[in-house]
A and B are shown apart, each in its own frame.
Chain A
Amino acid sequence: MRRLSWFNATSLTLGFAFLYLPMVVLVVYSFNANKLVTVWAGFSTRWYGELFRNEAFLDAAWVTLRVALVSSTLATILGTAAAYVLVRGGRFFGRTLFSGMLYAPLVMPDVILGLSLLLLFISIGLDRGMITIILAHTTFSMAYVAVVVTSRLVAFDHSLEEAARDLGCNRWDAFRLVTLPIIAPAVISGWLLGFTLSLDDLVIASFTSGPSSTTLPIKIFSAVRLGVSPEINALSAILIGIVTVGVITTSLMSKRAIAKRIRDENRAET
């Protein structure tokens, strides 16, 4: 390993501090025994215990998880279908308009998206609850999935599908047996993206949620308005832990897959 120059070392330290210091503080204080968040009174896991006895938080977490699972799955199906039609459907009437409109939720401010969905749900008389959050999240996640899957489909060799058809597949079988397995990584990352966005979303969920269904971000936000409690710190620390494990696992997996592929290809040519 090359030694870092003092300039590089300093900028690296500053950069990391800027990014991660707030989180480190949060995690450290989640183990604080004191009820006052900012006064350190020794190590304790007390707040984690309290958190798991707090029904309201657990309910909200459960709702969030279900919303995220269902909406990201729906968004993946719709987004993949949209991407497939846009890339493979050839030129059809309204294609440009459709592809432009598909990306609109990416640039639309959340407040406007949330408000318009709220107005829609009210005007069609749909009671706000988990269903409306799921619908709302599906709407914007779908756009993200479509973007991710489109980029993979564009790079995809069209003759693979033709080969499948040539060997006896109808269009659906060709998609199911050849296209889908090959674009699976993009579909999965689209799903993960939708899942994270849904977990994360506060603005749209607060427009579309009802009194019976509160998601975790809404719960945390409203709890913090009454004052930061150590329980919130503990909850946030858990969330950080989950995300960290997830990110590290996926990056290790993809790194290993790439390394294996390069090794295989080198071996194949010799």
Chain B
Amino acid sequence: MAEKPRKPKPITDLFAPWTDPDAKPLIEFRSVTKKFGDFTAIDDLTLDIYEKEFFALLGPSGCGKTTMMRMLAGFESPTEGEILLGGKNMVGIPPNERPVNMMFQSYALFPHLSVWDNIAFGLKRDKMPGDKIATRVEEMLRLTRLEQFARRKPHQISGGQRQRVALARSLAKAPKLLLLDEPLGALDRKLREETQFELMDIQEKTGTTFVIVTHDQEEAMTVASRIAVMDHGKIIQVDTPAQVYEMPNSVYVADFIGDVNLIEGTATRTGPDLCEIRFHEGEPPITAEVTSEISDGQTVTYAIRPEKIRVSRDQPEDRSNVAFGKIIDIGYLGNVSTYHVELADGQMVKAAMTNATRVARRDFTWEDEVWLSWRESAGVVLTQ
């Protein structure tokens, strides 16, 4: 399962219920506020999540993402506002009466029960007949490839297997909504990547709505249909991974997701959707496409990803933006190299180039003087 390459995802997703005005959301947060004493964990937050979505709540620790998840599970209740699940207000309903299951960060497997009994635990609480429980547990064991470990206790299996038991247990009751709290945090990198694809596969097979909490932006980008980037109890941007990466709505999002150059300057409109950004005396202004409303002379931040910038020895003719500088540092990552280039005014710019050929000697080295160039559509003009 893990080896199967991921289907290429077009930027305009075929599955996009959030673009359909008639679609009824599965989960609705309606101006939800949650306070712990004086601390406001969630601040007047409104959000819709649709059925069959793989929705990621992403943010640094303390941004309120875990609180949102715990409110969905029923372990916390909002101070103000309401949370609807399938149109029904869930505030005040205890966790055991919600069609929601959760996979815990620590997995929370019951150490005194076997893998089989862990998975059967929730089904037994529903007073399901014994033979049906057995069928369902076998099905879950097959789905998570744990058949030969059914009789083992949690401490007799490896970390990756434990993670799959936790997943099987939370899926066994066929919840309307599955919550995953940093589900892959305890796994090493290789296993984590494999498991991400497994999760997506299982999500697709079962058709369950998944809400995942993570601080790992790569994980969110890989698995999610949409990402909500959070900070200090507020949602800054909700969008598809590609949108969040290519069209961040704020400096915070641009900076949080991936690597980015942020250049501050003053904007002047030069065309219907073009503007010039002056960021330093003596440097040519940056020409950039702009979609938002800006006024002349407004201070803006220009965000451009390193891989959108080309490094060359000769001055390129075909690009609208060029800058001249000196290589200060090179970060060699194998597949790409990141060049830290200092412009004449001291502004540092990162540019990433793919190492497409296998050569012992690279084209550029430290102290080399190079030209940086990019198109007007390569970066984003941010006003907040």
Contact = CB atoms under 8 A, between A and B. Distances in A.
B173 A168 contact: yes
A166 B73 contact: yes
Nearest to A265: B155
A165 B111 CA distance: 16
Interface string A228-270: 0000000000000000000000000000000001001101110
A159 interface: yes
Contacts of B102: 162-163, 166
Contacts of A163: 102, 104, 108, 110
A60 B106 CA distance: 52
B30 interface: no
B126 interface: yes
A264 B153 contact: yes
A170 B155 contact: no
B157 A159 contact: no
A178 interface: yes
Interface stretch (B41-49, B93-101, B339-347, B365-373): B93-101
Nearest to B175: A166
B121 A167 contact: yes
Interface residues of A, number: 23
Determine chain A's interface SS by DSSP, over half rule: helix
A197 interface: no
Interface residues of B, number: 31
Contact of A268 (B101, B112, B157): B157
B158 A166 contact: no
Given A167-B122, A168-B125, A173-B125, A162 B156 contact: no
Given A169-B96, A170-B94, A269 B158 contact: yes
B96 A168 contact: yes
Interface string B271-301: 0000000000000000000000000000000
A173 B125 CA distance: 9
B108 A268 contact: no
Given A166-B73, A169-B125, A170-B96, A182 B112 contact: yes
Nearest to A267: B156
Contacts of A55: none
A261 B154 CA distance: 11
Contacts of A173: 125
A164 B106 CA distance: 14
A164 B96 CA distance: 8
A177 B104 CA distance: 18
Closest 8 CB pairs of A and B: A168-B125, A167-B122, A163-B108, A159-B108, A264-B156, A181-B112, A165-B95, A159-B104
Interface of B: 73-75, 94-96, 100-102, 104-106, 108, 110-112, 121-122, 125-126, 152-153, 155-159, 161, 169-170, 173
20 contacts: A157-B106, A159-B106, A160-B110, A165-B95, A166-B96, A166-B170, A167-B96, A167-B101, A167-B122, A167-B170, A168-B96, A173-B125, A177-B121, A182-B111, A264-B153, A265-B156, A267-B156, A268-B156, A268-B161, A269-B159
